[in-house]
Chain A
């Protein structure tokens, strides 16, 4: 039961990060290895704001804003210029992630940081005791995801985005500017990751290397769910989220194994069914 409740909450936050990653890939066709860094930036920016005395809400906004700004800079300076150069993009985005890691390490040192929680103490849900901050995070994440998916499905803006995702060149014919849309998607995707980082910070790990696990998990989710399928992403996030908590609870000191198990999931999926659960078949 523990696992179910915690798993659901974790799935939501993971889905948030994965959604951002999936959007950037689906629309801009970019595998952004810097994605995890926005998660980190969100957390640290919120932390910094908190240290400077800002009230909680403002700190959250700072975190999200900083992540969004980071996405903007990344797109304009790097992603846009390396369009279509797949390997260069991989190297560049990974380098950017390491760069952010270094810089954060410089300013804040390598130790873990603690962030003030949004809600102290614990609540009881379905008879399970959960940290309130986890509940807040899960709920906020779920709401945000619903909002984003709705925007994509029902609004004109969402239609534009989907048009570019399907066929960037054709979109131009209809008067859409793909680059603008891609920029927006990268910014939003980063913001989503940043939000997740801020929300998870109170109960999670906050240190300079905190970008790797979310990136790995996001990638795992997107691959498991099928690149290009948002529904698949959500579904896979649920799987990975439950797996995450299951492993953490089942093995003593289980947190260490989460990374390993996630990786095992990735490798297994890549070998057995590269198209993921709901994705289109990968061309041979």
Chain B
């Protein structure tokens, strides 16, 4: 479609592409396996954060129980591994996605009329309820221990993609020379990277396209959106379902990477961590939370885990992040990245204004030729205000 080239030049997409290129080539230059393992997990967290953002950042329905979708998807994978051994990894992920999407409907419908604190409580409670349920069905879910021995990516068809990519970038000989555990590190890395890339690209296209604009309008003023003919209920619910489905997919993937699923995927800690990541990165930008997820994970690996205090007291890491976000909210509620992104996006906005002035000066009717140069979506012109 016309304007595609222009859209590709959007800063957000450029950032994403640069990021992807770096990540794809990373293993050829860096042989730190621990780093790759962390990055594989980080790729999943990126998806957690981005899926949260498409719901909470775009429609303004701030979800305090995102872990429900993540854990839900994860447990679908775990339970399938335990009870239906014949299901391949891809099938497990598909089921996790569908299951989480259904959960999205289940949670989204009661939440349609809720706002702010009511919504926060409802979503918080939903995640909490799921956690309680996992204890009620201890026998199946394994209670505190969870389920281990989940189908790993390496043992599956999906892993084949990872294997293929490793051979491609690192050389076939390299791959064959590795021990199985090391092989799985690379497979996990590449598979999560590919899935994440697809998810992010899809979300960007959605977020900065027509539907994204409509979603944003709902957050700005729901009543006005209705007056404009927007089927608000459909969009709000749709956002819940999409957010849930993607989080469930990522949760399932994470479980396949780890090889086990535990109740930690349903904790309020996880929900809060995602919110923190999104708040830091900039709510409503998709890319912001994605980058923040990497930053947080890498910060953990390189800094926090090296500090003895945190090595001895891992539970304090979340406490540290909590403290950090409190300070951040007091000082700079919009997050760290939006001010930066705004400055980067400014040239595009100015360019737009000039073209439009030319259009209006030219009068009616002839608009079509010049406007194809104008970016179709306005997401780049404004930084949506991060509510907070």
Where the two chains meet, the residues of A that have a C-beta atom closer than 8 Å to any C-beta of B are 31, 33, 77-78, 81-82, 85-88, 90-92, 94-96, 98-99, 101-103, 105-106, 110, 212, 216, 219, 223, 256-257, 259-260, 263-264, 266-267, 270-271, 274
Instruction: Point out which of A87, A212, A216, A257 has the most chain B C-beta atoms below 10 A from its C-beta.
Output: A87
A266, B315: Cβ atoms under 8 Å? no
Could you say which residues of chain B place their CB within 8 Å of the CB of A99? 319, 322-323, 326
- Pairs A–B under 8 Å by Cβ, sample size 29: A31-B117, A31-B120, A31-B121, A33-B120, A78-B326, A78-B330, A81-B330, A87-B62, A88-B329, A88-B333, A91-B325, A94-B275, A95-B272, A98-B269, A98-B319, A99-B319, A99-B322, A103-B316, A106-B313, A106-B319, A257-B132, A257-B136, A263-B129, A264-B129, A266-B122, A267-B110, A267-B126, A270-B118, A270-B121
**Shortest Cβ gap from B287 to chain A (Å):** 20
Could you say which residues of chain A place their CB within 8 Å of the CB of B128? 212, 216, 259, 263
Could you say which residues of chain A place their CB within 8 Å of the CB of B329? 82, 85, 88, 91-92
Q: Is the interface of A mostly helix, strand, loop or mixed?
A: helix
Nearest B-chain residue to A86, judged by Cβ: B116
Could you say which residues of chain B place their CB within 8 Å of the CB of A31? 116-117, 120-121
B136, A263: Cβ atoms under 8 Å? no
Beyond A99-B326, A263-B128, is A271–B388 a contact (Cβ under 8 Å)?
A: no
A260, B322: Cβ atoms under 8 Å? no
Could you say which residues of chain A place their CB within 8 Å of the CB of B114? 270, 274
What's the interface size class on B, roughly?
Answer: 35 or more
A101, B117: Cβ atoms under 8 Å? no
Could you say which residues of chain B place their CB within 8 Å of the CB of A212? 128, 268
A77 to B268, CA, bound (A): 24
Q: Is the interface of B mostly helix, strand, loop or mixed?
A: helix
**Shortest Cβ gap from B262 to chain A (Å):** 15
A260, B272: Cβ atoms under 8 Å? no
Instruction: Point out which of B118, B124, B125, B315 has the most chain A C-beta atoms below 10 A from its C-beta.
Output: B125
Nearest B-chain residue to A25, judged by Cβ: B117
**CB-contact partner of B125 in A88, A102, A263, under 8 A:** A263
Could you say which residues of chain B place their CB within 8 Å of the CB of A219? 121
- B235 part of interface (Cβ distance < 8 Å): no
A278 to B110, CA, bound (A): 21
Could you say which residues of chain B place their CB within 8 Å of the CB of A103? 316, 319
Beyond A102-B318, A106-B313, is A95–B121 a contact (Cβ under 8 Å)?
A: no
Could you say which residues of chain A place their CB within 8 Å of the CB of B330? 77-78, 81-82, 92
A263 to B62, CA, bound (A): 18
B316, A106: Cβ atoms under 8 Å? yes
- B374 part of interface (Cβ distance < 8 Å): no
Beyond A90-B116, A95-B326, A260-B132, is A267–B319 a contact (Cβ under 8 Å)?
A: no
